Amino acid sequence: MRPVTKHAVPQAGDICRLSAVELADRIRRRQLSVHEVVSAFLDRIEAVNPLVNAIVSLRERADILAEAESADAHLAQGGEAGSLFGLPIAIKDLALTKGLRTTFGSPIFADFIPDEDEFFVERIRRAGAIIIGKTNVPEFGLGSNTYNPVFGPTLNAFDPALTAGGSSGGAAVALALDMVPVADGSDFGGSLRNPAAYNNVFGFRPSQGLVPAGPAFEVFHSQMGVEGPMGRNVRDVALLLDEQAGYHPRAPLSHASEGSFLDGLGTKASGGRIAWLGDLGGHLPTEPGVLDLCEGALARFADASFHSEKLAPDVDFEALWQAFVTLRQASSGCGLKAHYDDPAKRKLLKPEAIWEVEQAMRLTAPQIHAASVRRTSWHRTLLSLFERFDLIALPTAQVFPFDATTHWPREVAGRTMDSYHRWMQVSAFATLGGCPALNVPAGFDDKGRPMGMQLIGRPRGDLAVLKAGAAYEATLPWPAGAC
């Protein structure tokens, strides 16, 4: 069985331990009132959040409960209930929430209140969810460690001495400690997958374009970052994805989903072949124990009729990483340049943000083009791999959760990390391919630190990845979460 949290938290009550799918069903059947559900989660937040700082900008309790009572009255009058009706949800603090403070973890936006919702937030509201607050993030989402000067750090759900990961660290910890039933996240270089791994929950990076991004000033170039769902089980992930996904006219690279993902999970996966890339033939420095846990997870897959094969593709992974870095700088660095250009705001930027901007300013058009060509070559390689395999598996992170006061690991397995995100290089390959990638809990080392494994599918093969994740989930000897 998995270790329990080292935080001094009470056991979650019956309502908070129910899955999001079950909660939504009981609300629709009026077996539970929205008021009961929301009150239970607010009580849980009051008891637990001061220890971990996962949820920020929490709305006033009276206002939230008034919304819950209105929802109950709506049902009592025979009103329709969407798939998320009555569920209390906290939105990642990188996503716009109309009328609710959105800081991006930056003092530049400490008092910013948007006048519109992110596209997927608008859809979540329309599905009946009650937005109660935000989940904490690193400044502008940079780095897989959730801390910022506005709200401070979020601590790991299992151990207060360890990082929660990031950038969806607040979401992952809130889920793991039963403060919310389901959560949204976003992922450029592992920001959904890494915190899910570090807190023993599921995090899904969808195929490029499945969840529309925006509103945004630029909607064609900045497309490696995606929004996605997180949950304590795969069905909850699918529940939220059903609402997030689908074409939006103001997101021209978005596309329609092919039916309900939750309904699709009603048919079990029939097995398949998994390519295990491990540490890419020694290319990735990896902390001892990480690969062993992932290989143990692969062995459990055999119980679900999935068979794995170790594979080391003939690819220049260093050149591929440099292409990722270039494209990230051209996107994120340029996006932050307006703040950098204002001397007063530049003083408020963390070093990683300044580095992204200054590196972006050195880029040339031929360099960006060459990086995109390299990415295209990788996409072709992936397509050829998916002719032989149904899934590709990699560790979700190269190191276990580390000291929360350390901003990022400077060395991994004896190798110096040359940037704040080099230790998360393993996350770049699904991103560059536009592929769906699901973090599944892989287990715990002898120090009780969690680790996860990525299941990567062919582009637009989102349902197949979720089905494989559900098959794997059924083999787990422990539940997701932390208590």
Would you name the residues annotated as active-site residues?
Answer: 92, 167, 191
Give first-to-last CA distance, the chain, whole Å: 11
Q: Is it true that the peptide bond before 372 is cis, omega within 30 degrees of 0?
A: no
Query: What pairs with residue 274 in β-bridges?
Result: 308, 391
How many C-alpha atoms does 335 have within 13 Å on its Cβ side?
A: 18
Strand 391-395 with 450-456, pairing: antiparallel
| C-alpha to C-alpha distance for 10 and 188, rounded to whole angstroms | 34
Asked if residue 344 lies in contact with residue 108, where contact means CB atoms within 8 angstroms, the answer is no
Residues 299 and 336: their CA atoms lie apart, in Å, by 44
Chain position carrying tokens 């998360």:
424
Q: How far is CA 260 from the centre of its chain?
A: 20
Q: Cβ contacts of residue 183 below 8 Å, gap of 6+?
A: 89, 90, 92, 135, 168, 171, 172, 174, 175, 229, 230, 231, 240
E strand map for 164-240 = 183-187, 202-205, 226-231
CA distance 373 to 268: 38
